[in-house]
Every structure is written in structure tokens, then in C-alpha cells.
Amino acid sequence: MNKYKVKFKIFCFLFLFIAVLFSSCRRANPDESRKHLILGLKSQNEGKLDDAIAEYSMAYELDRNNSTAVFQRGLIYFSKGDTLKALEDFDEAIDLAPDTARYYDSRGYIFILRKEYPKAKADYEKALKINPDNPLYFNRRGYIHALMNSYEEAIRDYTAAIELKNNFEDAYANRGFVYLTLKNYSEVINDFSKAIELNPRAVYYNSRGYAYANLKKFAEAMSDYDKAIQLDSLLADAFVNRGYLLLNAGLYFFALQDFDKALKLGHINALNYNARGYAFANLRKWSEAINDYTKAIELDATLTDAYVNRGFAYFNSSDKGNALKDWQTAINQKPELDSTLRKYIEKAGK
């Protein structure tokens, strides 16, 4: 019995040895691997992604050191929305070729999409260590810094990207958005002016218009909002921004049209209903104003302005009871309003 066990163990060992040997020979075939890599690239260029995956997989099986094959397969997985498989392939590519910057770039970009910002930042730092003259890597690391609220670091990275590539539209725009967050409106105008010069997009005109408005350059702001809407009639933010500009100018009918358009485009929020209600109120359309203020309060019960405004709409439509209730709610939320509203409360109470 022991003799048969020994023979069986020897047989198993030989079988395993042959299998490993066969597997090793099959993998260590770089020439055949390159052929499948080329076929994979051809299929990928022709849009035959599943065929390309099969070819890259075969190339990788034939040569486990073929980082390009596994990386290209990862790119296809990413394009198909399978970020987990893409990450696995990018990890493997980096293990095989840790000095290849584009591998870190691709993995870092996935980390950005997954909101894993520290990991993304680490990858772009590695990419920049390998290739310190790549403006794209500075731009993307700047974007990560901005997402992490590290605005000064973001500005430095965007500036480095621009110094390396002075026609880098995205870097100007991204830096402009950071300056917008920091309320540095002069720099916002400078950056978006350059971005517009390179590519006149609606969102750039809208952003520059917002900066002009905050610097009280209303004619320039209006011109930019008009241009933004001309370029993209579905850009709700431009209608909202122009609407506020028109409200402040006392052009209530036109402001009403802009807020109406923004709401129809799906820009549904308490502030926009409150603003449209204000336009209705100034056109003495009290019922419509009350409806909009009510919608604003339904969306945000803490929006004190909506209670104040609805109170005035009720008061002007002779509903003093509801006016008093709204003003009292406003005071409860913001006690400092008591002195402002007191005289109206006394008038309504008579």
C-alpha cells in the first residue's frame, strides 16, 4: 500500500512539474506576446474592444513582464466603465514598470473619480518625479489640491502648468475657478479672458461675468451673460446670474423671464424661487409671488428672506394674519430683524 502511495506522489510531482514547466514556457514568449499586443492595438483602434481585451490578455499571459499589454487592457476596462478592473491592471502595470509616468497618471485619474484624493495626489507626485516637465500632471495635481481645499497649492500647480504650456486652456480655467472661490475677481477676469481667447466657451463667459458683477462692472457682466446664453441656451447658471443683475437694475419683467427659464431648465432651488417671487412682487403679482415664496420655503425652511418677502406679499394682498406669522418666523430665525420689521408688524396689527 505504501508503495502505491509513493508512486502516486511521484506521479503528482511529475505532473505538477510538467504543468509549471509548460506554463512557464508559454508565458516566457515575448515575440508571440508582441504579436498579440499589436493585434490588440489594431482591434482597439477599430473599436473592437472585446477583441482587444482578449488579445491583450493573451499578450500578458505569454509574457508576464509585458506592462504595456496589461496597461492597455486597463484603459479599455476604464473606457467601458469598469474602474475596479482598470485599477487592478494599472496596479499590475506599475508593479512591472514603476518608472512609467503615464501609468501613475491613469491610476491617479481613477482615484480622482473615486474621490480618493490623497491616493490621487500621491500618484501625480510620482508621475511628476518621473516627468517634471509635463503640464498635464501639474494641472491634474492642481485640480486635486482644489478639491482638497488647498487653494494656494492648486494655484501654484496651475501656474506651473501654464509656465510649461502657455496656451493651456484648462489650466487657465481651473485657476480662474480657484480665484473665483477665493473671491479674487480681478484674477478671475484675467484667467477667463485668456481661456476665452483660447476657446470661447459659455461657462467661461458666465464665470467672467460673475466676476465683473461683483466688481460692479454691470455692463461688462451683462455682455458676458448675454454671450454665454448665446453660446449655450441651456446654461441655467447664466440665466440665474443675469436674472439677479436684472433684479438689481429694477428690470423685473426681464428678470422674471430669466428665473423662469432657469427653473424650466431644472435649476430648482429655494433661492431661484425666492428671486422669481421677488420679481413677481415688484410687478405687483402678489398671488404668483406668494406661490414662489411658498415653494422656496418648502425647499428650504431656513431661508429667512422667503418668510420676510412672503410676509410683504401677504400684507400687500390684505392678508395681515399670514403676514404677521411670516414676519414672526423670520424674527425667530434672525432676531436682529426685529427692529427692521417692527413697524410693519405694528401696522399689520392695527
User: 210, 233, 268: which is the final residue of a domain?
Assistant: 268
Instruction: State whether 295 and 342 are in the same domain.
Output: yes
Tell whether the model's pLDDT for residue 25 goes beyond 60: no
Percent of the chain with pLDDT over 90: 90
Reported as a pLDDT band with limits 50, 70 and 90, residue 27 is very low
Same domain, residue pair 250 and 312: no
pLDDT band (50, 70, 90) for residue 8: very low
Shared-domain flag, residues 290 and 326: yes
Residue 198 lies in a domain: yes
Per-residue pLDDT, 29: 85
| pLDDT number for residue 11 | 42
Task: Judge if 197 and 252 occupy the same domain.
Answer: yes
pLDDT digits 0-9 by tens, 93-141 = 999 999 999 999 999 999 999 999 999 999 999 999 999 999 999 999 9
CA distance 210 to 214: 6
- Classify residue 82: in a domain, yes or no: no
Helix (H) or strand (E) holding 11: helix 2-27
Phi–psi pair at 343, nearest 5 degrees: -65, -35
**Whether residue 263 is found in the same domain as residue 227:** yes
260 and 203 part of one domain: yes
Q: Does residue 191 lie in a domain region? A: yes
Please compute the mean of the pLDDT values over residues 42-54 and round it to a whole number. Answer: 95
Of 218, 241, 268, the last residue of a domain is 268
Residue 41 in contact with residue 6, Cβ under 8 Å? Answer: no
Q: Which pLDDT belongs to residue 260?
A: 97
Other beta carbons within 10 angstroms of residue 131's beta carbon come to 16
Distances (CA, A) of 77 to 82, 86, 170, 239: 5, 5, 26, 39
Q: How many domains does the chain have?
A: 2
The CA R_g of the chain, rounded to the nearest whole Å, is: 31
Q: Do residues 255 and 323 share a domain? A: no
- CATH code where residue 319 lies: 1.25.40.10
77 inside domain = no
Mark whether 261 and 298 lie in a shared domain. Answer: no
On the 0-12 / 13-18 / 19+ scale of CB atoms within 10 A, 128 is: buried
Who's near 317: CB < 8 A, 6+ residues apart?
286, 287, 290
C-alpha grid cell for residue 209? Answer: 461675468
* Helix, strand and coil in the chain, % to nearest 5: 80, 0, 20
What mean pLDDT is predicted for residues 239-256? 98
Mean pLDDT, the chain, rounded, equals 93
Confidence of residue 347 (pLDDT cuts 50, 70, 90): confident
The answer on 253 and 209 residing in a single domain is yes
Does residue 156 lie in a domain region? no
Examine residue 23 and state whether it is found in any structural domain, yes or no.
no
CA distance readout (Å), 164 to 82, 90, 154, 218, 326: 33, 27, 16, 35, 58
- Residue whose C-alpha is closest to residue 313's, from 301, 333, 332, 296: 296
In a domain, 6, yes or no: no
For residue 229, what are the domain limits? Answer: 182-268
Give a yes or no: residue 248 inside a domain. Answer: yes
**One domain, residues 290 and 263:** no
- Same-domain pairing of 256 and 190: yes
Are residues 206 and 258 located together in one domain of the fold? yes
Residue 81 CB neighbours (<10 A): 8
Domain boundary among 268, 302, 330: 268
